[in-house]
Structure 1
Amino acid sequence: MLSQELPPIVKYPSTIYGAGNQSWMISQDDQNYLYFANNEGLLEYNGTNWKLYPTPNETIMRSVKVIDNKIYTGCYMNFGYWTRQSNGKLKYTSLSDTIKNKILDDEQFWNILKYDQWILFQSLNRIYIYDTKTKGFKIISPKNGVVKSFSTKTSIYYQTTNEGLFEIEAGRGKLISDNPILKKYTIVNLYSIDEGLLIQTQLDGFYKLTGTSLTPFMTDVDAAIKSSFVYSSQRLQDGSYALGTVSNGIFILSNSGKLNYHISQSKGLSNNTVLSLFEDRDQNVWVGLDNGINCINLQTPVHSFTDDTGVLGTVYASKVHNGILYVGTNQGLFCKKYQSNGDFQFINGTKGQVWSLFVYDNTLFCGHDSGTFIIDNASARSIFSGSGTWKFESVPNAKNQLLQGNYYGISVLEKVNNQWKFKNKIKGFDYSSRYFEITNKLEVYVSHEYKGIFRIQLDNSLLKAKQFYAYP
């Protein structure tokens, strides 16, 4: 897609939040504070201020998850939780220190999951299951390690290299699929759907797992995501999917696999490498990048359009009319179906500078360097070419007439036999009329770029200026 309308992105560089470039996981508490597992520690954001709590052993923080009133984190050879003290600051309590002799050398904890009373800490070797009631641990140690772990509302899953997908039951791993696809490709995330599980792989797109049957789930961007290496993935509250890639930014897909947005560095993202994704309670999508943090406001009615091709030029006017978005630029008039991802189409005959777009009497008027056009869908009809046209105003108590400001004065348009036509130029006033207003007494005030304000009293027939005043 060459160009698209995109939601606004707020960028937070590391110089703003005062921590490391990379954030590996994101979570949120009941006070709407956000927490980032950052290269330099636990990064907290309250909507106004950022605060960094260095990792207790000065290593990279890899995981964070808010569960009840605790913020659980995992790093190099350590995991535990943070609690809020009476002074408002967070204090760390290590859980792994209680089983220090069982932690493997060089182990890092990449994910934290919750299931009922159990908190699970996943490294690339094992899964440590912490019982919050008994304070005891169970450890799952697959022979080939743990690639990733996942949770749905009812189950915890993990993938093991060359073995497939497992579900944890009664503290043990139970193989649920050894399909060659799930043995070959890394799973980024999985989601519960009516038919079973929807599985997102790193390099081979989506699959549906129904019982033991694994079938591809086709999307609009299969080729793009296969070549972009999906690293992070989230299902959003509206049922759509956000996919973060290593080299191509973020793809946001509908629940049926249609492309809603592709947001990359060329579209405003700070970086194309997306390490983590999180949707907050206000449905903003927070993005932990290889260099900085971004926040995408997907729910806003305001979107921006970036012209990657340079064909559109500089925009001077826009108007939505009869379900079509019109954009007037220094290159001409363009249109496309409103709120679609289609490309803009040039309207033949309008090449050159567009100054204004004006809807009146269910008719779209275009003020142009070449004069005045009436626009019908994607076609333009010239009704005046005497000089350039700046703008239009309706005439009080004369619904079939309009005034138009031109390069050399003001002229009248009139509707005759259901057709708008040029009627006459107003005699006695020949100055450029880019900005003007008309009163009920047919007084026209013109703001001239260099000469100040003019006041013109028109006659009732709109043929001439009866009186003329200048206010320098």
Structure 2
Amino acid sequence: MNMRSWLSSALVLVVMLAGSTSYAAKLADYFIETWTSNDGLPHNSINAIAQSEDGYLWFATWEGVAQYNGRDFKLLGRDAVNGILDSGTRALVADSNNQLWIGGARGSLTLRESYDWFPQPAATSLVNHVMIDQAKNLWIAVQGKGIFKREYTATHQYAAEKAIVTGFSGYRLTQLPNGDIYAATDLGLYRIHDEKAQPVHFPDGITPKRIMHVATDSQGRLLVATEMGAWRMDNQVLTPVHESLINESITVIEEDSDGNLWLGTIASGLIRVDGEIVERMEVADGLPNSRVISIFQDLEGSIWVGTNGGLMRLREAPFVAFTKTDGLYGDFVRAVLPYGNEGVLVGSDAGLNLIVGDQIRSFTPAPAPTLSVLSLASLKNGDVLVGTYLHGVYRLAGDQLTPFMSMAEGLPTTEVRAILQDKSGDLWFGTPVGLAHYSVATKQVQIYTKANSAMPDDYVVALAEDEFGRIWFGTGIGAGYIENGKVTALPIEDYEEAQFSFGFQIEPGFVWIATDRGIIRFKQADQSLAIISRSHGLPIDKFFQVVKDNSGSLWLSSNRGLWRIPYDQAHNVADGKQATIPFDRFGRGDGMGSSQANGGSNPALTMSPDGNMYVATALGVSRVNPFALSQADQYLLPVVIEEVAFGENAINPSHDNIVPAGTDRIRFSYAGLGYLMPSRLEYRTQLLGFEENWSFKGAQSVAEYTNLPPGNYEFRVAARYPYGTWSEADFHYAFTVEPFWWQRADVRVGLVLITLVGLGAIIYLRIYSLQQRERHLQQQVDIQTKALRQQSEEFERLSNEDVLTGLANRRAFDTALRQHLSNTSAETPLTLAILDIDHFKKINDTYSHVAGDQVINAVADTLKHFPNLDITARWGGEEFACLVYGDTESVLKQFEQLRNSIAQTQVDIGKERLSVTVSIGVASSSQSRNYSELLQLADKALYRAKKSGRNRVVHW
């Protein structure tokens, strides 16, 4: 794909994402991320921002230029190669042909084009801005000196500069479609035509002296930022962008792809103007500093804001969260349900609300207790039943919320966690003490419990009806259905010991069940069950709800965010046609109010009629448009090769493509330049001439090839967001590996002929003696082979096993730790724990080393039988080591349970019973994925545990 195609697809993406939802984002709805020098920026003042055609983002600071690929900042400072004369940088301007102009202190001016640098003669002072005009000429705005022009003469070459206007500071330049150039200076606004500069006058009564920024909007009109407000020029007439901003000191003005104006101020933060609507963002709202000095919209639609205190990025997150501050009764939301053609009901621990678009309405119950809502269900007449925690069931009819059913009418309890109206009109209520069936025909309530039926449990949290009229129920220890009054319990415990069934997705021919061990599919045709769980690649077990959207995905809610899996591939896994399931996870970082979705009540995840998904969370309700996510998935990411190294030497891929003979390793570093979800990028590579197929790399951004034979090769790399379209790099890197002289084809042919003749002679002379010895050797081989095999197997076992305890030894654990670290992702952290038996030396000295061995064996036996320890080994002496996958919080609880279990262990030493305790030091791969460093962190944590009094778990 060429560069223009990539730019076009990126712009189309911004338009499609903007048009994919009917809800206009407010400034407060944007998702905010910030960076400072603590995060890799060389300095906190962001003087300018640009994006080059290859996709890199660039940030100018007083300590150099930061090149950003979505993961890391790469610093470019004063250097003879790049031609930057001083680290202080003020100007960054992207141009065609993947060019980037960089200007700054000491008149520094240089041009980057892909991997090459073309330093230019220095200007007379600090370069504030540069501009390439329509004729390719170079214009320079210089601090304290004025505006200068260098005429284009050839590629990367310009004539000596010419002073256009001098005696003041030039801040910014822009050119209108008619060819006129406008300059922002500290002595006013200037118009330059045919190299002649004239001051531009503002309306009567307005005389801003300092013009800080000029730009053009999408209609080619001039935008002006001044110490007396922001202005727009139309037909040579300047009018204020908004009357309320006349007295505001504006530092920068830019227009985004939706036509909104973004303004920076001297001391009042960030302003967005949408027609007559003026919105502000200040430090209290998340802005790093109140002085804004640069604003830029990237090709994915994000707004980047540079301040004196760091960098901020605003993006329309995939999710929008509604909380109590937006008008909900409560933040702890348990149930969501479509209502009417546009709205969604939201039941929380404090009441019932209705969301329509971005507006929130409230319903006041009559009488008016505070309703803690647990469940919602639509009736055929359009009313809604509301299950509560303490007040039974209410009915919502129109705007009236009134009592409907309580224990007086036959409910077994006031706590109602699921409600269903079946096809016949009967009502079903799931409660903690059984399933209640209200018959419309008889006006009677029948209670199904474990005691009077085949119900697996009384605690009912989920209800659904399939196409055959079966009533499905989910309980705390199982699931099943009722057909013609008969209860059938499904053996879901046979599938990885699943018990809790939180929710159902009903579709023709199938029922999906969200459980505490994954999602289980029931196939109507043969009534078979199949599970999709951690064994198929999902990082977690427990899912609360499963809902199918309109774009071919299943959505799963959980305590660790919202998960999306491909619908067709889910069936493939359930049918045994596919071993693993791809997934995408969304959480607070994507705009959700909380990553903790709620379960145990229904429905807690739903799709509204307009296709949006609503999920109940511990901090409000979150909304996402799956179609918008699908469009983002199709975004063709630009991919760059950041570094190519032959052996230990990095080379310039623009010029160097001959690999010297004998080079044992070739390394490629690459990056997909997507900034919306950089942590989720996936890669695949292919080396044509060596590999027939693409090699999937996951998140790995380095590919290495060793000992390639001489020949011609071409390296290809592609990137995508999960589920997205693979986008190949804008160019493929072709190279040639040179041969040694003996690797040349003609030399090889000669050597082969000589070798064949020699081998023939040797074989002829040796064949007779070999035949004589063959029979004898065969007998010896048969005898010794069996013995060697037995010996080898024993050596292999002993080399990896601790003789005393039977656990893995340190050698085996070291190997396993390295392997697991190399395969560990940020989504599934790996935790290392080192255990040390407290006061072990005292045990040896007091009771003998034999007693010490008994203690070691007792601790080892506890480790062997303790659940969910992925790898356990005797580290040495009285120390043990464990590896566990999972989030840090749950893992720490697990090791606290292990410590307590050991503390309850007693060892019989002669006539005495000896209690044993251990100290445990814990470190996580989220802190370091380096083998040695992770061990050091765990060891430091162990030392702290021992120093703090022993018999405790310490996380470093």
Whether TM exceeds 0.5 here: the answer is: yes
- Check if 1:67 corresponds to 2:132: no
The whole-number CA distance in structure 2 between the counterparts of 1:307 and 1:150 is 46
Aligned 1:168-187 pairs, distance under 5 A:
168-179=192-203, 180-184=205-209, 186-187=211-212
The whole-number CA distance in structure 1 between the counterparts of 2:41 and 2:104 is 19
Query: What is the match of residue 419 of structure 1?
Result: none
Aligned 1:30-429 pairs, distance under 5 A:
30-55=53-78, 56-68=84-96, 69-84=98-113, 88=115, 91=117, 93-96=119-122, 103=124, 107-116=125-134, 117-125=136-144, 126-133=146-153, 134-146=158-170, 148-154=172-178, 155-161=180-186, 164-179=188-203, 180-184=205-209, 186-191=211-216, 197-204=222-229, 206-210=230-234, 213-218=237-242, 222=244, 229-246=249-266, 249-254=269-274, 256-259=275-278, 263-264=281-282, 266-267=284-285, 269-270=287-288, 272-298=290-316, 301-305=318-322, 307-308=324-325, 312-321=330-339, 322-338=341-357, 340=358, 342=359, 344-349=360-365, 351-359=370-378, 361=380, 362-369=382-389, 370-376=391-397, 378-386=399-407, 387-395=414-422, 398=423, 400-412=425-437, 425-429=445-449
Tell me the secondary structure at the aligned position of residue 181 of structure 1.
coil
Answer with 8-17 or 49-58: which moved more. Answer: 8-17
Describe the shift of the 1:290–1:198 C-alpha distance in structure 2 as closer, same or farther (beyond 3 A).
closer
Question: 1:419-463 CA deviation, whole Å, 9 max, x = no partner?
Answer: xxx965432428332235556474644322xxx226574654xxx
Q: CA contact under 8 A between 2:139 and 2:147: conserved in structure 1? A: yes
Question: 1:63-96 CA deviation, whole Å, 9 max, x = no partner?
Answer: 11122343211111223223357xx4x5461321
Answer with 362-371 or 46-55: which moved more. Answer: 362-371
The whole-number CA distance in structure 2 between the counterparts of 1:138 and 1:251 is 37
Query: What is the match of residue 44 of structure 2?
Result: 21
The whole-number CA distance in structure 1 between the counterparts of 2:398 and 2:85 is 65
Instruction: Determine which structure has more spread, i.e. the larger CA radius of gyration.
Output: 2
Deviation at 1:408, TM superposition (A): 3.5
Q: CA contact under 8 A between 1:128 and 1:138: conserved in structure 2? A: yes
Answer with 116-125 or 438-447: which moved more. Answer: 438-447
* Letter paired with 1:346: S
Deviation at 1:137, TM superposition (A): 1.1
Unmatched 5+ residue regions in structure 1?
Answer: 417-421
Describe the shift of the 1:195–1:379 C-alpha distance in structure 2 as closer, same or farther (beyond 3 A).
farther
Answer with 353-362 or 19-28: which moved more. Answer: 353-362
Answer with 406-415 or 121-130: which moved more. Answer: 406-415
Query: What is the match of residue 447 of structure 1?
Result: 475
More helix by share: 2
Give the TM-score of the pair, scaled to structure 1: 0.76
Deviation at 1:169, TM superposition (A): 1.2
Deviation at 1:115, TM superposition (A): 1.3
Deviation at 1:267, TM superposition (A): 4.8
Q: CA contact under 8 A between 1:5 and 1:303: conserved in structure 2? A: no
Describe the shift of the 1:18–1:323 C-alpha distance in structure 2 as closer, same or farther (beyond 3 A).
same
Describe the shift of the 1:209–1:58 C-alpha distance in structure 2 as closer, same or farther (beyond 3 A).
closer
Describe the shift of the 1:345–1:33 C-alpha distance in structure 2 as closer, same or farther (beyond 3 A).
same
Name segments (4+ residues, structure 1) moved above 6 Å: 413-416, 465-472
Question: 1:26-77 CA deviation, whole Å, 9 max, x = no partner?
Answer: 1112211111112321211234443111143443211111223432111112
Question: 1:332-384 CA deviation, whole Å, 9 max, x = no partner?
Answer: 2233431x3x5x34321273422244445454443332333344565433323
Q: CA contact under 8 A between 1:176 and 1:212: conserved in structure 2? A: no
More strand by share: 1
The whole-number CA distance in structure 1 between the counterparts of 2:100 and 2:282 is 31
Tell me the secondary structure at the aligned position of residue 417 of structure 2.
strand
The whole-number CA distance in structure 2 between the counterparts of 1:373 and 1:6 is 33
The whole-number CA distance in structure 2 between the counterparts of 1:78 and 1:377 is 71
Aligned 1:2-13 pairs, distance under 5 A:
6-13=29-36
Describe the shift of the 1:120–1:373 C-alpha distance in structure 2 as closer, same or farther (beyond 3 A).
farther
Describe the shift of the 1:214–1:291 C-alpha distance in structure 2 as closer, same or farther (beyond 3 A).
closer
* Letter paired with 2:160: G
Bigger relative contact order, structure 1 or 2 (CA pairs below 8 A, ≥6 apart): 1
Q: CA contact under 8 A between 1:9 and 1:297: conserved in structure 2? A: yes
Describe the shift of the 1:266–1:191 C-alpha distance in structure 2 as closer, same or farther (beyond 3 A).
same
